Amino acid sequence: MILKPSSFLTSSVSTISGTATNFNNELLEYVNPEKPTHDHSSVYYQRFFVSKFNLDDRTIEAKFSTPMVVSDGDIMTVSGYQKGNGFQVLAYSNQTQQVSKYENWIVLSLGAIFFLAIALGLLNSELVTEGALVPKLFLLGFVGVAMYMGYRALLIREAISLFQN
């Protein structure tokens, strides 16, 4: 049995092709709240690169852990879903510069399995069987995070598969 994500995903993943214009790349940095005040090491920063541009007449937004390889005038194909007034990119292919990029869906899948394993371990604990509220909340949280990570991995995998068709 082949698991086809598009059969149960609520967001319809599609592709758009065109010429990139008005490319703008921004860097978002989040500081870990547990960072010591005297330490300026880059280990404590989480970086996201937010790219906004137009693909022909459509507004495109992409958030990746590495900067996009795009210049004004490049011919591109992006794969993702409609989000508000823009198009949220999950994977892209730049035909002009011969580059294809996407976030790592395998790591997200492994993370989902990890959180499900924690939830299963918590489900078998005595505190949950006794009816304590806090372990049930943790159980619900771990299952929720696992489902989100799995869903996101399937969305990225579906976006990648659209390039192969």
Residue reference for tokens 């869903």: 151
Distance CA 57, CA 77 (A): 14
- pTM greater than 0.85 (yes/no): no
Q: What averages of pLDDT result for each successive group of 10 residues across the chain (165 residues)?
A: 49 85 81 65 71 88 87 90 85 91 90 91 76 80 93 91 79
Distance CA 114, CA 122 (A): 12
H helix and E strand count, the chain: 3, 6
CATH architecture group of domain 1-101: Beta Barrel (2.40)
- Provide the pLDDT for residue 153: 92
- Provide the pLDDT for residue 44: 62
- Provide the pLDDT for residue 34: 66
